[in-house]
Amino acid sequence: MSNESEPEQAPSTAPQTSLRFEVKLYPNPILRRPAEPIEAFDDGLRKTVADMFERMAASRGVGLAAPQVGLRQRIMVINPSGEPGDELALVNPTITDKSGPITTFEEGCLSFPDIYAEVDRPDECTVTAFTPDGEAFEQSFSGFPSRVIQHEYDHLEGVLLVDRMSPADKQRHKAALNELVDRFKRAQANARPARK
Ligand SMILES: [Zn+2]
């Protein structure tokens, strides 16, 4: 999830080349495939988590799910406050309970650059998960952190911001969504070997 209170850095100024991961944009089909549970809590997992945190920070995001970097793995990293030390990585998370009043808040998503839409979600959620070291984790969240977790959890199920938008927001963002589709099609066409 992207932070609507801070403007996105222009892509040209982000030092993308030093990063292992790049963010997959809508409508890349990887974003639609449900992610699979992690079985090995090893150095490879911890490296993936570290590289996801690096990507999220470089993109000024407050949350990132593994499908967004092309991995079908049930991993999310979040830092709702943006403060160093507030990073949280959840592996194989399950939202075991949602409660509290339904709140409406404008969400952004790193896979939908410059598109923001109001999304209704319950204020509170309880999550069970594992840390990247394989330790059991359970915690309840409310407010913005709860929203970030619910947004990233959607990604693990292949559910996207565009699915949560009101019909009015979808209409409002129609041109921007179509532009993302066109951009994806052009990139695919360019990636194909030229016919002789
Ligand atoms: Zn997102």
Residue 12 CB neighbour total at 10 angstroms: 6
Alpha carbon distance 72, 155 (integer Å): 10
Grouping H, G, I as helix, E, B as strand and the rest as coil, residue 106 is strand
Look at 18 and 1; give whichever has higher pLDDT. 1
Banded model confidence at residue 3, pLDDT cuts 50, 70, 90: confident
pLDDT confidence of residue 110: 98
Q: What is the mean pLDDT of the chain?
A: 93
pLDDT confidence of residue 17: 57
What pTM was estimated for this model as a whole?
Answer: 0.91
What average pLDDT does this structure show over 85-93?
Answer: 96
Backbone angles phi, psi at 9, to 5 degrees: -70, 145
105 C-alpha vs ligand 1 centroid, how far in Å? 14
Q: Which of 36, 152, 157, 179 is catalytic?
A: 152
156 C-alpha vs ligand 1 centroid, how far in Å? 10
Residue 5 has pLDDT above 60, yes or no: no
Ion ligand 1 — residues with CB under 5 Å?
A: 109
16 C-alpha vs ligand 1 centroid, how far in Å? 19
Per-residue pLDDT tens digits for 12-62: 455 545 799 999 999 999 999 999 999 999 999 999 999 999 999 999 999
Whether the CB-CB separation of 153 and 122 falls below 8 Å is answered with: no
Q: Which amino acid is present at 161?
A: L
Alpha carbon distance 190, 34 (integer Å): 27
Give rounded-to-5 percent helix, strand, coil for the chain: 35, 30, 35
Residue 107 among the catalytic residues:
no
pLDDT confidence of residue 4: 64
